[in-house]
Amino acid sequence: MASEPTWLPLDAVTALNRDIVAESGETYQLRDRASLQKAVDQPWNIWCYFQDRDMAVLASRLFSGIANARAFAAGNKRTGYRAALAFLDANGYELGAPDYAVGKLGDYFAGHLSQYALVDWFRLWMTPHTQGRIDP
């Protein structure tokens, strides 16, 4: 049985959003803490109740859950994406998607990409951290 992942806490997600909106000059506002908590808990619920150990499934649910919760006044999709990156990083993976591929994530929100296809997108671009990795 796989060991339990490192989960991303709510405070880390709110900090990500603060940074994201500061970068773009937008105002930080958490409008719905309960919705954000539900979104952040989605990967844990999938892990526990469905016993799904696939990191692509867990990361994609974190991404879509945060983005769709619209808990922040601005930056929900960007926060969902960065939260998924942080979750994967904390669990030994990196996402090597080029900019054009990241841009395709908009297809999910336009209804042109299913949750299953979103999982496949994450699976396609995820790789385990390399040995001797040095952060810049």
- Percentage of the chain modeled with pLDDT above 90: 85
Instruction: Identify whether 50 is part of a domain.
Output: yes
Cα–Cα–Cα angle for 16, 30, 6, rounded to 5 degrees: 40
Q: What pTM, to 2 d.p., does this model score?
A: 0.91
Q: What is the CATH number of the domain that holds 42?
A: 1.20.120.1870
Q: What is the pLDDT of residue 106?
A: 87
Instruction: Identify whether 120 is part of a domain.
Output: yes
Instruction: Identify whether 86 is part of a domain.
Output: yes
Question: What DSSP string runs through 15-81?
Answer: HHHHHHHHHHTPPP-B--HHHHHHHHHHHHHHHHHS----HHHHHHHHHHHHHHHT-BSS-HHHHHH
Asked whether residue 67 carries a pLDDT value surpassing 70, the answer given is yes
Mean pLDDT of 59-67: 97
Q: How many domains does the chain have?
A: 1
Instruction: Identify whether 104 is part of a domain.
Output: yes
Q: What is the pLDDT of residue 136?
A: 44
Instruction: Identify whether 134 is part of a domain.
Output: no
**69 lies in which domain range?**
10-128
Instruction: Identify whether 133 is part of a domain.
Output: no
3-state secondary structure of 95: strand
Q: Mind listing the pLDDT tens digit for each residue in 3-38?
A: 999 999 999 999 999 999 999 999 999 999 999 999
3-state secondary structure of 115: helix
Asked whether residue 132 carries a pLDDT value surpassing 80, the answer given is no
Q: What is the pLDDT of residue 1?
A: 53
Where is pLDDT greater, at 112 or 6?
6
Instruction: Identify whether 96 is part of a domain.
Output: yes
Instruction: Identify whether 135 is part of a domain.
Output: no
